[in-house]
Each structure stands twice: as structure tokens, then as C-alpha cells.
Structure 1
Amino acid sequence: MNTAARQDDGIAILPGSAAGPIIVMTEPLSFWGGVDPATSTVIDIHHPSHGAALAGAIVMMPTSRGSCSGSGVLLELALSNKNPAALVFAGPEDTLTLGAIVAAEMFGRRIPVIRLSREAFAALSSAKEATVTPEAIRAEDGHLSIQLSAAARDDMRLSAADRRMLDGNEGIAAQQAMRILCAMARQQGASELVDVTRAHVDGCIYAGPANLVFAEKMEALGARVRIPTTMNAISVDHANWRRQGVAPEFGEPAARLADAYVRMGCRASFTCAPYALPDPPEFGEMIGWSESNAVIFANSVLGARTAKHPDFLDFCIAVTGRAPRAGAFFDEGRRARRAVRIELSEGADSSAWPLIGYLAGLASPDRIPLIKGLEKAQPTQDELKALCAAFGTTSAAAMLHIAGVTPEAGSLGGSPEDVIVITREDLAAGWRKLNAGPSEVDLVAIGSPHASLDECRAVAEQLGGRPLATGVSVIITTARNAAEAAQADGTAQQLRRSGVEIVSDLCWCSITRPVFPETAKIILTDSGKYAHYGPGLSGCTVRLGTFGDCIEAALTGSAPPRLPGWLAGAASTPPPECTAALR
């Protein structure tokens, strides 16, 4: 490539100037759980770029993946001057782009966001450093020049109500929210906004001061939600964090963040499983949700319609009642583009579902899959929850289809472009990867996403009132309504007799010490999501186990690494990333 590079080689989604060394990521990364907001270092131990320092670098990756909270991490980095100098993607990307839009719109901190053609992305990937301007990216002493076009700025089709908000006639907060919505809609290619009936706000997690700064600034501008809006799990047990010994320097701003959203009209639901609340969304209902597992479950299992909205955009949707009409709002944005066939053994138990979700995400990191081979399965809502959550850690897709299980698999499973086969050996290799670690266990973690009443009951029944092993803690994180139901039917009392602690409001991905026991170093969980994010978030060894393993560890303090019974006998294979290939 030379200075005569074509105009379509790149688009300046958010133009700006920057210079720095280039860091190339060979696979997508979730900034939440994958990047330390205090140091800008990659902490996802499963990512090839683990340990890389992103501050001041021109960061290149195909797209992002995982948590919607990545936008909050990027804003945190921007406000502390530890952000990447620029972000360069090889395709569409929403989460980090939205974080950059908010940083520029509300705080005057500009992080250029560039989208390159595959050819241009490959060429720049070989360079060591680069300079970015609004018009071009230059590298290799000027021998490589990639011309940048401005992102499309054509006027969107806005309703009269949209224009009133954009013109400031509905208040400054609504105007700011509409500006952010329109900026996001344009980069998504949306030509209009759509009415949504409800919102779910994920940005109430305290990833750092930036989340609080955003919320309190919106409140100061007079923000109020106009549609029913639930809130994600927060970062403290709101009523009990002081009693639990949480340090005030963390507990106070985390509680302030939650309180700010409640004052602006959000419901204090504090759950990462809003689909389990009374009155879940209906099939075909247009909603504006954030939180990766919630979005994937709502689209895939319930058949509701929502894009995978980044943090901060979720609240802008709640304030305006409008969302960019893009992606999974359309039939075309819900069609499967890849088939993932699972060679599942008969007799597979609940431990199969998080593993399948995790490997299906690796096999389909940037497109909606149709998962095949599970037609005879009859998964419970909790098993589908586990699958959707694990899928959301390794894929950027807003949904999935399961042939014979999910409601749109028949109509939108479509004609996938290719097929990936996940063999029994792949399943075994994936399990070994997530299950590896010492046999001794200090802590059993249940409830990522939040445990249902049925899951709480299952733990109580299996423990049967027996005491936990000496030195072992078992914590179940759950929503307030599930905790209240467990209290009402005696499940909570039975769990407490064994020594199990039930914690409401926060989830494992936001739990901190000392609620997370100070002495815990080895954690066993039945959650594929937490097995992935947990090591980076906690600094501990986090192993995926079966539900039976978790009970065994609770009672004995030990659960040796091993395959689940339904995988026993699979050929011995090393535990790298999914080895499934296009077939």
C-alpha cells in the first residue's frame, strides 16, 4: 500500500489526532474484565495480549467482545489520561466507540476511532508505530499512508419529538442523550430511531469514578427516565455494605452511583438477570437493554428485540425512550450467519450449557450462530441463562439460535454461510482449560448471572444442612426478589444453617473484598462467565466445575480437576483455544 491508497481504505468514525506505538490484538477483547481501569493493562488471562499496556498506544483489534461495560472502562481511562491514543477496528464495533463518543461529547476527551478495510488493517498491523490525523494514518516513515474518509453525516429521519429533544426543548439532559444517540446511530448505519418499551441500565456498576461522574452529571442536567427502567447488579449490597466491612472509599461512591440512577427514576432491581423479574419482555417487544447476558437471553430465548447497547447509551435510551434502529431490531440483523454443530454426548448434564456457550462464542466471535446438535435437549431457563452468559464473554454477537429450542431458530436460522463442528474432543479440551488448577478450594461462587430461586433451592437440598468444610466459603449472589422468595420458603434459613451466605444486589463480576473473602485464593464456580472473567477481576485462580463439584468442594474443601462424567472417555487433547475448524 502507498500514498495513493483508496478513499475507502478507512473511515474516521470519531476523527482526531494521535501518535504512538501500535499494539495489534489478534482476537477481540472485552475491556470490562479484560483491562484494568486503573493501569490500562490487559488482565484477561485467556487473551493472547494478556499483560499488554494500552495507555498511549494505537490499539488495533478486529472488534470488541463481551461486556457492555467496556464503554465505562474506556471512559475511566480517558478521564485519568491512561487511555489508548486511538482505537482501530477491522469491522463494526459499538461498545468502545460509544465510550469514546461520551468522552468527547460530555468531557472534551477525544480518542480517535477508526474503521479500516481488511486490506488496510493487515497493512497497518505490520507497522511498529503510527500517526493518526483526521485525514489519514501514516506509518513506516511515510511509506504507508491510509487515507481516511469522514463517517457519513447524512441527516437521520427524526420524528418531531426527536427534534424537540435534540433542539433542547425537552431539557438539557434529553438533548445530551439525543446527541449521543444520534452519533451512535450514524456510526451503526441507522437511518432512524425506534420506540422502545423498557430499558435496562448496566452503567450502575462502579468500575471507577467515571461511571459516577457520568451519572451525577446527567442528574445535574435534569435527567429523568421516560420508560420503565430496571437496573443491573451494582457493586455493593446496598443495605449492608457497611456491616460487611466494605471500605468507605469504595462503598460510598458505589452506593452514590446506584442512588443517582434511582433518583432519576430507575427501578432499584439491582439484578443482572432482569429477564427473571416478574413481567419479562414479550416475544417481538422492542426494548433497550444493556448487559451482555441479558441482551443475549432477551433476544435469543424470549424473542424480544434489542441491540447490545453499551453502558451510557442504555441510559440515553431510558431518558428518551428511543434507540438506534439497527442490528437485532431487524430480521436481517437476527439471522444466523454461521452454523455451530455440537457433538454432544447423551447424558450431558447442566455443566454442558456454560461450556457450549463459551465454545460457541469462540467459534462465532463476530456473527450470530445457529447452534445445532441440541435438538433433543430440553434445557431449563437456568441452563439457557448459563449458555447465554458464557457465549457473551467470547462473542460480540447480540444473540444466538439453538435449533429446536429457541423461538426464532426455525424462521431466522436461515442458510448459514459455513459450519463449524465442536467435537467431543473440543468440549473436553475446553473443559480442561477452564477447569485447570489446584484441587484445594477456598471459595465456591454461585450466581453469575444471578442465581434463581430454583438454583438456591438446589444448593440447599444438596447440602442438606451439613456444615461447610473448615476454611471454605460458599457465596450465592442473587437478585432481591429471589432472596426474598428464598427467605419466605425457608431456603435461605437452610442455606445459612450450612454456612452459605446469600448476597443481594451485586454479582460476582463486581464483588470486592472483604465480601469476597480475604483468604480466598482458589475459587470453584459453575459459571462459564465467571470462570472467564474471574481470574482477571479477582487475581485468583478461578476454575469451572460441575454443580456436583461445587457441592463436593463445599463439604470437603477439595474438587480435583477432572472431566464431567458425560465427557469422560473423550480423547486426550491439550487445552488451547477451541480447535474446531471450518468443515
Structure 2
Amino acid sequence: MYLTKEEEKIYDGEYGEVLEKCMNLLVSLGDIYGAEKLIPISSSQISGVSYKTIGDIGLEFLRDFANEKVEVSVPSTLNPCGMDVDNWKKLGFPEDFAKKQLEIIDCFKKIGAEISCTCTPYLTGNLPRFREHIAWAESSAVSFANSVIGAKTNREGGPAALASAIIGKTPYYGYHLDENRKATHIIEVNIENPSIDVYGALGYIVGKTVKNGIPYFKNIKNINNDELKALGAAMAASSGVALYHVENITPEAKKAIDDNLEKITIDMDDIKDAYEELNTCNEAPDLICIGCPHCSLREIKEIAEFIKKNSIKLKCDLWICTSLHMKAIADRMGYTRIIEKAGGEIVKDTCMVVAPIEDMGYKRVATNSGKAGVYLPSFCKSEVIYGNIKDILK
């Protein structure tokens, strides 16, 4: 890799051990993937925030950064942590877990990261421009940024995103290069009026089929951002898909397709098969959980209005997972009051996957999230009831 004189000084440790570690990590990644240089980034989304996922080793790693008093050099947001930072006692999170989680949050605060704790940073202020280079971790956020916004990022790991946040640069390879953003498969979709759970099932199937490829979807119309979010998240969970295109919808679709690509057709029979695979339980849930990725205000509003219209009184716990920003607006709009009156909670900062729900007594989780449907059995040892959230609430 070519390094500037300033980058060489950082690499040689002239600006301290932490910056040296960060630069060494980025250069090593660049060497592995054939990058010719480092390029500036405009923002970072840092994963590895939940104590459940990083444990004591990760906490010790973050302490080293916080104690050296280094700071991020670009706007940097955090992925969900393992609990609602403010309401963990009310929700029943274990106290020993909370203590470690709060220390992790404090470490990130000391280095200047925004304590946003959301997997939808593009809804809360970290919104890159088209073709802007960024360094984002968290698979669904990466997919949305690359595909829907048209920004450029690889699927970074937590340490690499943190290193990029501090250095302000990332290796120039992978999805940062235009030639690597072309479609590899054409997906013909023959499904009428799909809901979010159907898009989750579609993403689950396509991800397993194309592996690390770049799908190009045809025959998808009238899809909103929440549905695009669900589609990309499910693909990223069931595979390594970090970029997809939708004909006449996503910004790079026109230039992303060639004629000689493998074509795959998906219809409702395939969706039904996906539902059977994602459903691992036919008993009643002890937790209904939506918001993986975090819910938008539109999703919260739809659930609140549905609960109110149908006079729903819940027989199990309900978590609607979202960001601090969306929760604050939901409070003002009265949606939180409606949901709490029915027996549910709007839970911020976390989600069912990175929270220690298995230690909190939740064994059977109902969800409309294809991403959660993939991760819950392995990450949380949970059985899954997968389907349309309104049917589940009824």
C-alpha cells in the first residue's frame, strides 16, 4: 500500500500507541484485500457495542482506547448495545450485565462517539450522501447505505470501523470501487403486495441463494424505505450480501446490470418455504419483538394505531425496538402511551438479538424480522414464531 508521509508517521507510532494500532489494522486489511491506498471517509458506524457480543475481552480493548484519550476524527455513531440505557431496571435487565454495559458506553463516550445506539443511523442524523465514502459496520446499515443511499462502504467489522473512525480513513478496495458494485444475479419477483415479513422472507431466500453476490431485483414496485430496510437486513443475515439493486428504485440500478447474468425467479411458494424454515415453534410466544433493524416512526405509528383500533390487550411481553430519537417523537405523538396501555414497551438502544433475553426468561420470540429470524436461534437460543406482526398481535 502507498502511504502518505503523515500516514507513515502514524504507522510508525510517532503519534502514540493507539493511533499506531489503528493504522496497523487498516493497513493490514488493505494488504489482505489488495488496496492501493487509504481514502478519507465522511462518517463511521461502529459495531461491537453490546456486552453480550464483545464480553470482557472487548471491554478491555475499549478501555485501552478510552484511557489514551484519543478521539474519533469523523462523525461516528454506535450500533445497538445490550440494553435500554435508561430503562434497564424497569425492563428487567440483569444488574451485573448493566454494570459492564454502562462501562462500555462510557468508553465510547470518552472517545467522542455519538451514543446513538441504533442500527438505523441514517434515520437519526448520520446520513451520507450519494457516492460518499464511509466506514460502516452492522450488516443491515451497510446494506442500506450501499443500496438505498448509494454511499460506498465495505462490510466492516467493529474494530476496523473504530480504527477508521479515529484515523478518518479506510482502505480503498471492495465496494469503494465502482467495478465491484455491479449486479451478479437477476431476481425476478412474482409476489403481490408484500408486507415487511414477506420482504424479510424474500431477503432470507435470496441471501442463501446468491451468497456474497449482488442481486438485482425486478418487478418490485411501491416499496418504501422500511421494506427496503427489511429486505437488505434479511439478506445480510442469511449471507454476505452488502449491496443490492432494485430496478427503477435504487440509485445505481441503471448502471449495475448486464444481460448475461444468472436469473432466479421467486414466487409465493418460495416465500411459504422460507416461512417454514424461519418458524421453529408453534406454541404461544413469551415475547413479541419487532425492530430488527430498529423501527422507524412510521412502523411505530402503524403498530400503535393497530393496537388502539383493535383494543388489543397483550398476553405476553411486547418490545418495539427503536432509537432514542424515534422514541422521543413517539412519546410526543402519544404512540408510547397507547403501546404501554396495551402492555407493551418501546425499548430503545437495543434489540432482541444483542440483548441477553435468554437470561431474562424469554424462550419463544415472535417477530416479523427476517434478520431476527435468522439470528435468534443461534445468538439467543430462542425458538421463533415468524409472521405478519398484525396477525401475531391479534
Query: How far apart are the structure 1 equivalents of 2:48 and 2:382?
Result: 25
Amino acid at match of 2:193: G
TM-score w.r.t. length of structure 1:
0.65
Displacement after TM superposition at 1:258 (Å): 1.5
1:85-234 residue pairs with structure 2 within 5 A? 156-206=1-51, 207=53, 208-234=55-81
Query: How far apart are the structure 1 equivalents of 2:189 and 2:249?
Result: 14
Residue 397 of structure 1 pairs with residue 241 of structure 2: yes
In structure 1, the partner of 2:371 is 529
Find the partner of 2:151 among 301, 304, 307: 304
**What does the per-residue CA deviation read over 1:432-470, in whole Å, with 9 as the maximum and x for residues that have no partner?**
222352142322111111111111111111111734243
Amino acid at match of 2:184: R
In structure 2, the partner of 1:79 is none
Find the partner of 1:362 among 205, 208, 213: 208
Query: How far apart are the structure 2 equivalents of 1:288 and 1:276?
Result: 17
Ranges in structure 1 where 5+ consecutive residues have no aligned partner: 1-155, 553-583
Displacement after TM superposition at 1:390 (Å): 0.3
Displacement after TM superposition at 1:416 (Å): 5.2
Give the 3 Å change call, closer, same or farther, for CA 387–193 of structure 1 in structure 2: same
Contact kept? 1:341, 1:372, Cα under 8 Å: yes
Contact kept? 2:217, 2:246, Cα under 8 Å: yes
Give the 3 Å change call, closer, same or farther, for CA 496–416 of structure 1 in structure 2: farther
Find the partner of 1:483 among 315, 327, 334: 327
Query: How far apart are the structure 1 equivalents of 2:383 and 2:126?
Result: 38
1:143-542 residue pairs with structure 2 within 5 A? 156-206=1-51, 207=53, 208-278=55-125, 280-344=127-191, 346-374=192-220, 377-415=221-259, 417-464=261-308, 466-470=311-315, 472-513=316-357, 518=361, 520-542=362-384
Amino acid at match of 1:339: I
Displacement after TM superposition at 1:480 (Å): 0.1
TM-score w.r.t. length of structure 2:
0.94
Root mean square deviation of aligned Cα: 1.8
Determine helix, strand or coil for the equivalent of 1:450: coil
Query: How far apart are the structure 1 equivalents of 2:375 and 2:384?
Result: 9
Query: How far apart are the structure 2 equivalents of 1:225 and 1:347?
Result: 44
Query: How far apart are the structure 2 equivalents of 1:201 and 1:256?
Result: 16
Amino acid at match of 1:167: D
Displacement after TM superposition at 1:415 (Å): 4.2
Find the partner of 2:386 among 541, 544, 547: 544
In structure 2, the partner of 1:133 is none
Higher helix fraction (1 or 2): 2
Displacement after TM superposition at 1:551 (Å): 2.1
Amino acid at match of 1:536: S
Give the 3 Å change call, closer, same or farther, for CA 535–268 of structure 1 in structure 2: same
Query: How far apart are the structure 2 equivalents of 1:411 and 1:452?
Result: 30
Instruction: State the identity as a percent.
Output: 29
Amino acid at match of 1:169: E
1:14-25 residue pairs with structure 2 within 5 A? none
Query: How far apart are the structure 1 equivalents of 2:197 and 2:95?
Result: 38
Displacement after TM superposition at 1:348 (Å): 2.9
**What does the per-residue CA deviation read over 1:138-171, in whole Å, with 9 as the maximum and x for residues that have no partner?**
xxxxxxxxxxxxxxxxxx1112221121122332
Query: How far apart are the structure 1 equivalents of 2:383 and 2:201?
Result: 18
Across the two proteins, how many residue pairs are aligned to each other? Answer: 391
Amino acid at match of 2:230: A
Query: How far apart are the structure 2 equivalents of 1:451 and 1:383?
Result: 11
Query: How far apart are the structure 1 equivalents of 2:340 and 2:91?
Result: 16
Determine helix, strand or coil for the equivalent of 2:356: coil
Determine helix, strand or coil for the equivalent of 1:323: strand
Contact kept? 2:42, 2:128, Cα under 8 Å: no
Displacement after TM superposition at 1:241 (Å): 2.3
Query: How far apart are the structure 1 equivalents of 2:248 and 2:379?
Result: 36
1:557-576 residue pairs with structure 2 within 5 A? none
Contact kept? 1:339, 1:416, Cα under 8 Å: no
Contact kept? 2:238, 2:371, Cα under 8 Å: no
**What does the per-residue CA deviation read over 1:465-484, in whole Å, with 9 as the maximum and x for residues that have no partner?**
734243x1111111000000
Ranges in structure 2 where 5+ consecutive residues have no aligned partner: none
Contact kept? 1:204, 1:234, Cα under 8 Å: yes
Displacement after TM superposition at 1:517 (Å): 5.3
Query: How far apart are the structure 2 equivalents of 1:179 and 1:209?
Result: 23
Give the 3 Å change call, closer, same or farther, for CA 517–248 of structure 1 in structure 2: closer
Determine helix, strand or coil for the equivalent of 2:292: strand
Give the 3 Å change call, closer, same or farther, for CA 420–332 of structure 1 in structure 2: same
In structure 2, the partner of 1:70 is none
Contact kept? 1:452, 1:482, Cα under 8 Å: yes
Give the 3 Å change call, closer, same or farther, for CA 551–243 of structure 1 in structure 2: closer
Give the 3 Å change call, closer, same or farther, for CA 434–175 of structure 1 in structure 2: same
Query: How far apart are the structure 2 equivalents of 1:458 and 1:379?
Result: 16
Determine helix, strand or coil for the equivalent of 1:382: helix
Q: Which has the higher contact order (CA 8 A, sep 6+)?
A: 2
Amino acid at match of 1:289: W
